[in-house]
Structure 1
């Protein structure tokens, strides 16, 4: 088109010629102008989308964030960066890929366990014997120290108080460049101990709800004949003898039974700085329904299948023990207080042999503490 300053300073003939050409090309100019305007608008939208997707998660709705994160972690095992063997890959359903809620608006699939599959399993453990109690321990793939400490202590004997007790470890997939080496080590560990179960979700803190529901799915599918099961964290001191004694007491329900350290009227934390932050979009109520603290809770064998089925109608959020409480509420059930609530303790300030001989749970600081305390508890002589 030329420089505007040149146009304003030229002679009259040149000015008339340019204006004449401009009038002739005006329709064409309008078409190109509209095209460029649309292109600019599209570019602005694209830049805005890229910019917002790179913002910290606090700057947008956690409902969108958690759905997006779950969607990413659900499918992260498909990315070349994780270099998972092709036989471990799975094509997730279209509903699983939805970042928040499928079109029906009534079913939620991020925490629906059948959307995942097991890549390492020990399905025969409940076929060869009918356990009274199955302990499922969620643990990180690379946390061998915790698994070994548990094997040396409360998982050492499969016969407790005359009852068969099985202990299994639930793992997801590890991220990072060394995933193949981690998988090979896990295979060797499982060949030695036959107690690992691994599913193809990414093993992250935000996926604890998925991990818990996969535990429930495994129990419902592969071990429905057990009388009871327990989800127990890997950093726990578990007095397994006292637990079996409790479950064998007269009057302990065999159906619809969930017990542990009960949490009543616990407020939902809305501070984005909190590790346990849950936004209103995921959980609108100000308080959680009554639930059992996630360090360790016991349930009858009929509940895992019910939890899996009802999970499709509950918005997933990352507080796994409160999520189980929501499952109970949706089923029209409620957790029950244990016969002696004082046996379920969280943290302790010091080790006391007499105290540890009476309790069922305590949270510990390390695997070394577990081995040390257990060894002392089991030494000859009365503990009190």
Structure 2
């Protein structure tokens, strides 16, 4: 029998053993222990399944260079941009990712992953310029699958080998195809036309900065003899005669010269839902330096190597034309306004023959439109 005090203590959870097990059955003790273990196991299991509220919490606190993958849905495809940024990272650990498995030492990496030295050419035309000795080289960044766009250029302005007595050359720059079948088709196209250059970066919208820097590297290393080069998008019309007249004008500089559609005083887009969003970690200034719209800009070819060199010191970001402008600022070189700014046009609207005869560049709606316009402009008047 228990005293009243012992009963009260039992009701509040206190068990008096009084030095022996006679008052409490061993089975009850075992049950209490098992119940406690079940609760502990359930708690640990539940914690391990909790979602990570911020992906950065998987890493240790450190000022370090971290590789990120940023993706965007474009035309139903997942496009990836790999880049390096310096970031202070908060940390917790999980059973799967203990702190001990993560290096916390800061890394000093001068070159951004967009720098062309990080890539190599899969398809190349290294002797093209030596054989051709071009005055002007058109470099066209294009997606691997855009065969129709390449063929339209090949049958129009890209088919011209001489303008006003000066040799011109057109080449296409592509990234990875994404599969062996597509790669095989690209290699067949390369053997047929000998105008494809391919590098081993992911070919996506967010990688246009990488694509542009690889173009600059190709020009600097494979084609230093060219006097001028032009980065020109695949949906563009080019008035070759007007462009050549500009480059051959006596007052056009032969060095440190770049011109096109000038962009002044442009604010950096911080809206994360925008296609043109740039994080402050990548570009902290509120506005870009003056740059040239990426649809098509022409430059003296000495700049290609200088821009590549400047990119070692300029952290890259995903707006390729603004990035080139930032590299130019690093070099102390200002883009030039063209003698007639109306010759570099974004859109001309409804087709009028006289308008196209006056311009150097404008954006078109389709490869077929380029073919139709080119045929009309070449008709004798």
Indicate the TM-score class for this superposition, using the shorter chain for normalisation: 0.7 to 0.9
Match of 1:180 in 2: 180
Of 142, 146, 161, the residue aligned with 2:164 is 161
Q: Distance in 2 between matches of 1:105 and 1:331?
A: 23
Name the structure with the higher helix share.
1
Match of 2:116 in 1: 113
Q: Distance in 2 between matches of 1:142 and 1:362?
A: 23
Helix, strand or coil for the counterpart of 2:365? Answer: coil
TM-score by length of structure 1 reads 0.77
Superposed, 1:312-351 pairs within 5 Å as 312-351=312-351
Check whether the contact 2:125–2:197 (CA below 8 A) recurs between aligned residues. Answer: yes
Q: Distance in 2 between matches of 1:106 and 1:339?
A: 41
**Structure 1 residues 286 and 360, CA gap change in structure 2 (3 angstroms):** same
Describe the superposition over 1:89-147 as per-residue Cα deviations: whole angstroms up to 9, x where unpaired: xxxxxxxx984249465724211011000000111111113110000000000000000
Match of 2:149 in 1: 146
Check whether the contact 2:294–2:320 (CA below 8 A) recurs between aligned residues. Answer: yes
Q: Distance in 1 between matches of 2:188 and 2:247?
A: 34
Check whether the contact 1:101–1:107 (CA below 8 A) recurs between aligned residues. Answer: no
Match of 1:291 in 2: 291
Of 137, 141, 160, the residue aligned with 2:140 is 137
Describe the superposition over 1:171-229 as per-residue Cα deviations: whole angstroms up to 9, x where unpaired: 00123xxx111111111111111000000000001000000000001111100110000
Of 65, 77, 100, the residue aligned with 2:85 is 100
Check whether the contact 2:83–2:114 (CA below 8 A) recurs between aligned residues. Answer: no
For this pair of structures, how many residues does the alignment match?
Answer: 330
Helix, strand or coil for the counterpart of 1:69? Answer: strand
Q: Distance in 2 between matches of 1:294 and 1:15?
A: 89
Q: Distance in 2 between matches of 1:198 and 1:288?
A: 30
Query: How big is the shift at 1:289?
Result: 0.3
Match of 1:123 in 2: 126
Is 1:198 aligned to residue 198 of structure 2?
A: yes
Check whether the contact 2:69–2:83 (CA below 8 A) recurs between aligned residues. Answer: no
Q: Distance in 2 between matches of 1:312 and 1:208?
A: 17
Match of 2:60 in 1: none
Query: How big is the shift at 1:11?
Result: 10
Query: How big is the shift at 1:242?
Result: 1.1
Q: Distance in 1 between matches of 2:23 and 2:282?
A: 68
Q: Distance in 2 between matches of 1:106 and 1:117?
A: 19
Describe the superposition over 1:212-268 as per-residue Cα deviations: whole angstroms up to 9, x where unpaired: 000001111100110000000000011112111110000111111111010000111
Q: Distance in 2 between matches of 1:137 and 1:111?
A: 18
TM-score by length of structure 2 reads 0.78
Name the structure with the higher strand share.
2
Query: How big is the shift at 1:148?
Result: 0.2
The structure, 1 or 2, with the larger RCO (C-alpha pairs under 8 Å, 6+ apart) is 1
Check whether the contact 1:107–1:314 (CA below 8 A) recurs between aligned residues. Answer: no
Which deviates more from structure 2 when the two are superposed, residues 10-19 or residues 204-213?
Answer: 10-19
Query: How big is the shift at 1:17?
Result: 5.9
Describe the superposition over 1:296-354 as per-residue Cα deviations: whole angstroms up to 9, x where unpaired: 00111111111111112212111000000000001111101112111100012111111
